[in-house]
Amino acid sequence: MSIREQNLETIAPVFASFTISQTASVDDLKDADISKAVTLTGNYEVGPCASGSVLLGKLVSLTLTDADDGERIATVQVGGICRLATSSTYPVVGNRVIGGASGTVKQAAALGGNDPAGGNIARGTVLEVNGTTDCTILLN
């Protein structure tokens, strides 16, 4: 009997629903953003991760269509194991991450004197890295 490959993303995911942040009455998340990293914005809404932002999780679905601005709901994986695209500075196994450019993640900086009280804004633990393409993260 051969060993079956395990899909780590199916292990105990935790999902939450959010409204979507808007710019000039247009949703900041569209169908093309599904599977990208998102962050919590003002009024507990979600938007795409930008460089240095706090990672909330992975966008897994949006209701309705791209034309339905202001009426859509985003489902975000906020816990469990997920794969997210990376950008420079690329993380390595064991790192924690922060938001990178355009819905990606990057390696978080080491704790230093300029970090907020209680530590830095890093999230998760990197379990695997696929070159400079993506990484598998435990959202803990």
Sign of the CA dihedral running 88, 89, 93, 98: negative
Residue 70: per-residue pLDDT = 92
Q: Please determine, for residue 93, whether its predicted confidence score (pLDDT) is greater than 80.
A: yes
62 vs 30, 54, 80, 121, 129, CA distance in Å? 8, 21, 19, 26, 27
Q: Rounded to whole angstroms, how far apart are CA atoms 140 and 59?
A: 16
- The average pLDDT across 23-42 equals 96
Predicted confidence (pLDDT) per residue in 102-137, tens digit: 999 999 988 776 666 777 889 999 999 999 999 999
**Running DSSP on this structure, what letter comes out for residue 75?**
E
Q: Give the SS3 label for residue 61.
A: strand
Per the document, the length of the chain is: 140
Q: What is the largest CA-CA distance in the chain?
A: 57
Residue 3: per-residue pLDDT = 78
CATH architecture of 8-139: Beta Barrel (2.40)
103 vs 30, 56, 106, CA distance in Å? 12, 11, 10
**Running DSSP on this structure, what letter comes out for residue 20?**
B
The answer to whether 83 and 134 have CB atoms below 8 angstroms apart is yes
Q: Please determine, for residue 15, whether its predicted confidence score (pLDDT) is greater than 90.
A: yes
- Residue 121 CB neighbours (<10 A): 17
